[in-house]
């Protein structure tokens, strides 16, 4: 395949700079994960991203990396915010796809025997699938408010409490959101999807904590063995997708000069300081807010479902947001580059922010231990809570992995697996109750389509970019 890869040290591989590459590329992986990464276009894609103007230090591929639109999923690219560029493909179509975890004080014992009832009730009350309909029906005015204010809108409208905002990246409201830069078409797609999971890879999963590896950090996060938690994974729905699409087309047309310098058209980027860079940033920030409201409404609805099923108030069940973290975003951040503070558009696509202890952007409640990082595995495997590691600022612009990462395409998955069989097996062998709008979704998301999340997390922990805190295991799961 002609791509040179040199081992720098354990878990760090480098594609050396050559030709028009502006910096080297780095892959963070163990040997078995690297073999999987070599199976698709990931290496070629991460190498291509080093051609983007203003790329700083290295383009970085996380241990869960796999091929994506232009820029790999599991990719981090920090591009100079004054002399570089911003690239929608390096954020991803599902702007602010991300995960949030809610704690409860229920134990697995209290839930056992009621899984079917709980999964049915969640499925009936949390909108999912391709069909329209969200938790709230809103007009375009409300959409504009959501885009501008994020979770603050949800608080005002009775879908959140104050603490929910404090335990969300950017406190649930990204600054610099500009609803006017989101197209009417995007708003129309979003307006009846406010509070909906969507289809495919998105899910709501009730889990039990199986391991706490770090007692002190576990305590700070309020996690204990056997505790029930809820993990929610979804993004900005049609609104984000349309926004990505709108700006890709505009950038391709207006910045052809830059496009022609890039090895892949899918990396289309707007030069920093250009009108389109500003417009995309404002629109992306707005879509980020939309996604946070989406996850917030789903979480709040989940509280109500638990209230009905367990006949207790959600406050009694201490259903508090542990943390919400994005894994498809770009953000203007200030980073130390060779002793100098520089403003960078940090693109994290299928990568999670992982700020270490002491960082001012880590919520007060967690500042002494580091930012919570949530890494889903699959509906048949563990998921993890990590904390931002000491080395993340030096190695990855404060980032780590976002999941196990796909091993095979959706088409391949449907050849390999049959949804009904997967569901039966999970229920009979693992007592995991899965309910989905379509059997095809279950096949496409079968545990076997994903890499080994334990190995991904081990690499993150060994590198000190995200340290293991706790592991969870699915109890029941709803999907689109």
Q: Which residue is nearest to ligand 5GP (CB)?
A: 403
Cβ atoms of residues 263 and 48 within 8 Å: yes
What mask, x for binding ligand 5GP by CB under 6 A, covers residues 131 to 170? ----------------------------------------
List the helix and strand counts (H, then E) for the chain.
17, 19
C-alpha angle 302/303/307, rounded to 5°? 115
Considering the complex, state which of residue 201 and residue 460 has its C-beta at the smaller distance from ligand 5GP: 201
20 contact partners, CB below 8 Å, separation of at least 6: 51, 261, 263
Residue 323 binds ligand 5GP (CB under 6 A): no
In eight-state DSSP terms, residue 356 is: P
Tell me if 68 contacts ligand 5GP by CB under 6 A.
no
> Per rule CB under 6 A, is residue 97 in the interface with ligand 5GP?
yes
Task: Give the residue closest to Mn ion by C-beta.
Answer: 97
Binding span for Mn ion by CB under 5 A among 137-145, 230-238, 361-369, 378-386: 230-238
Stretch that binds ligand 5GP, among 105-113, 396-404, 410-418, 460-468 (CB under 6 A): 396-404
Residue 477 in the binding site for ligand 5GP (CB under 6 A): yes
235 binding Mn ion? (CB under 5 A): yes
Q: Which is nearer to Mn ion, 129 or 235 (CB)?
A: 235
Residue placing its CB nearer to ligand 5GP in the complex, 370 or 377? 377
Which one of 203, 281, 290, 355 is in contact with ligand 5GP (CB under 6 A)?
203
Of 96, 282, 349, nearest in space to 198 by CA: 96
Residue 450 in contact with ligand 5GP, rule: CB under 6 A: yes
The pair of three-digit structure tokens given for residue 46, joined into one six-digit string: 């991460």
DSSP string, 280-347: HHHHHHHHHHHHHHHHHHHHHHHHHHHHHHHTS-TTTTT--EEEEEESEEEEEEEEEETTEEEEEEEE
Minimum distance of Mn ion from residue 327's CB (angstroms):
5
| Segment interacting with ligand 5GP (CB under 6 A) among 247-255, 375-383, 424-432, 457-465 | 375-383
Q: How far is the CB of 464 from ligand 5GP (least distance, A)?
A: 22
Q: How far is the CB of 473 from ligand 5GP (least distance, A)?
A: 9
Non-local CB neighbours of 139 within 8 Å, separated by 6+ positions: 191
Nearer of residues 54 and 350 to ligand 5GP, judged by Cβ:
350
Q: Report residue 441 as tokens.
A: 């979704």
Which residues between 46 and 105 bind Mn ion (CB under 5 A)? 94, 97
| 322 contacts: CB under 8 Å, gap ≥ 6 | 100, 101, 102, 103, 167, 221, 222, 223, 229, 372, 374, 385
CB of 214 to ligand 5GP, least distance (A): 20
Task: Name the nearest CA neighbour of 240 among 276, 293, 301, 278.
Answer: 293
- Please name which of 132, 124, 61, 136 lies closest in space to residue 293, comparing C-alpha atoms: 136
Among 246, 445, 461, 467, binds ligand 5GP (CB under 6 A): 445
Q: Which helix (H) or strand (E) holds 415?
A: helix 410-416
- Least separation in angstroms between CB 94 and Mn ion: 3
Angstrom CA distances, 148 to 24, 168, 301, 349, 373, stand at 38, 16, 22, 23, 26
Could you say whether residue 246 binds Mn ion (CB under 5 A)? no
377 binds, among Mn ion, ligand 5GP, none (CB under 5 to 8 A by kind): ligand 5GP
Best CA proximity match to 284, nearest among 238, 329, 346: 329
Beta bridge partners of 66: 73
Does 324 sit near ligand 5GP (CB under 6 A)?
no
Closest CB to Mn ion among residues 244, 272? 244
If one asks whether residue 402 binds ligand 5GP (CB under 6 A), the answer comes out as yes
- How far is Cα 294 from Cα 297, in angstroms, rounded to an integer? 5
51 catalytic residue (yes or no): no
Among 73, 258, 291, 322, binds ligand 5GP (CB under 6 A): 73
**Nearer to ligand 5GP among residue 152 and residue 169 (C-beta):** 169
- Residue 376 binding result from Mn ion, ligand 5GP, none, given CB thresholds of 5 to 8 Å by partner type: ligand 5GP
Question: Is the separation of the CB atoms in 459 and 478 below 8 Å?
Answer: no
Q: Is 405 in the site for ligand 5GP (CB under 6 A)?
A: yes
Among residues 80, 145, 169, 205, the one that binds ligand 5GP under rule CB under 6 A: 205
Tokens of 203: 């899910």
For residue 143, report the phi and psi dihedrals to the nearest 5 degrees. -60, -45
Please give the span between the terminal C-alpha atoms of the chain, in angstroms, as a whole number: 37
CB of 259 to ligand 5GP, least distance (A): 26
Does the footprint of ligand 5GP cover residue 423 (CB under 6 A)? no
Asked if 57 and 78 touch (Cβ cutoff 8 Å), the reply is yes
* Site for Mn ion contains 40 (CB under 5 A): no
Choose between 70 and 235: whose C-beta lies nearer to Mn ion: 235
Known catalytic residues are 402
User: Given the rule CB under 5 A, which residues bind Mn ion?
Assistant: 94, 97, 235
User: Given the rule CB under 6 A, which residues bind ligand 5GP?
Assistant: 64, 73, 97, 201, 203, 205, 231, 233, 350, 376-379, 383, 402-405, 445, 450, 453, 474, 477
């Amino acid at each position: 395949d002609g791509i040179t890869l040199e081992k720098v040290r354990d878990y760090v591989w480098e594609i050396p700079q050559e030709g028009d590459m502006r910096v080297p590329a780095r892959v963070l992986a163990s040997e078995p994960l690297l073999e999987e990464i070599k199976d698709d276009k990931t290496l070629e894609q991460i190498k291509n991203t080093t051609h983007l103007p203003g790329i700083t230090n290295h383009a970085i591929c996380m241990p869960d990396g796999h091929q994506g639109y232009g820029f790999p999923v599991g990719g981090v690219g920090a591009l100079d915010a004054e002399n570089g560029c911003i690239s929608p493909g390096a954020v991803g179509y599902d702007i602010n796809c991300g995960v949030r975890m809610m704690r409860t004080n229920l134990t697995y014992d209290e839930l056992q025997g009621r899984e079917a009832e709980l999964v049915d009730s969640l499925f009936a009350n949390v909108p999912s699938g391709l069909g329209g309909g969200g938790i709230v029906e809103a007009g375009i005015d409300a959409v504009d408010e959501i885009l501008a204010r994020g979770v603050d809108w949800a608080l005002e409208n009775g879908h959140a409490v104050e603490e929910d905002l404090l335990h969300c990246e950017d406190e649930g409201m990204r600054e610099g959101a500009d609803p006017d830069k989101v197209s009417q078409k995007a708003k129309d797609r979003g307006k009846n999807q406010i509070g909906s999971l969507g289809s495919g890879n998105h899910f709501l999963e009730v889990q039990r904590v199986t391991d706490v590896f770090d007692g002190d950090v576990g305590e700070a996060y309020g996690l204990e063995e056997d505790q029930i938690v809820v993990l929610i994974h979804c993004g900005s729905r049609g609104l984000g997708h349309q926004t990505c699409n709108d700006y890709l087309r505009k950038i391709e047309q207006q910045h052809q000069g830059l496009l022609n310098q890039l090895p892949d058209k899918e990396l289309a980027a707007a030069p920093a300081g250009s009108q389109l860079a500003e417009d995309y940033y404002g629109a992306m920030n707005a879509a980020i807010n939309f996604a946070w409201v989406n996850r917030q409404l789903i979480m709040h609805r989940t509280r109500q479902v638990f209230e009905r099923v367990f006949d207790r108030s959600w406050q009694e069940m201490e259903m508090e947001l542990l943390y919400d973290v994005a894994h498809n975003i770009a953000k203007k951040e200030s980073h130390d580059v060779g002793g100098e503070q520089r403003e960078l558009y940090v693109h994290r696509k299928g990568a999670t922010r992982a700020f270490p202890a002491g960082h001012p952007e880590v919520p007060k409640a967690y500042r002494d231990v580091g930012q919570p990082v949530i890494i889903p595995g699959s509906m048949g495997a563990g998921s993890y809570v990590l904390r931002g590691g000491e080395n993340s600022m030096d190695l990855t612009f404060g980032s780590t992995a976002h999941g196990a990462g796909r091993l095979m395409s959706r088409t391949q998955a449907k050849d390999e697996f049959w949804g009904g069989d997967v569901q039966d097996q999970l229920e009979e062998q693992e007592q995991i109750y899965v309910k989905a709008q379509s059997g095809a979704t279950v096949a496409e998301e079968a545990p076997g389509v994903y890499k080994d999340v334990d190995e991904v997390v081990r690499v993150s922990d060994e590198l000190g970019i995200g340290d293991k805190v706790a592991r969870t295991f699915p109890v029941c799961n709803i999907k689109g």
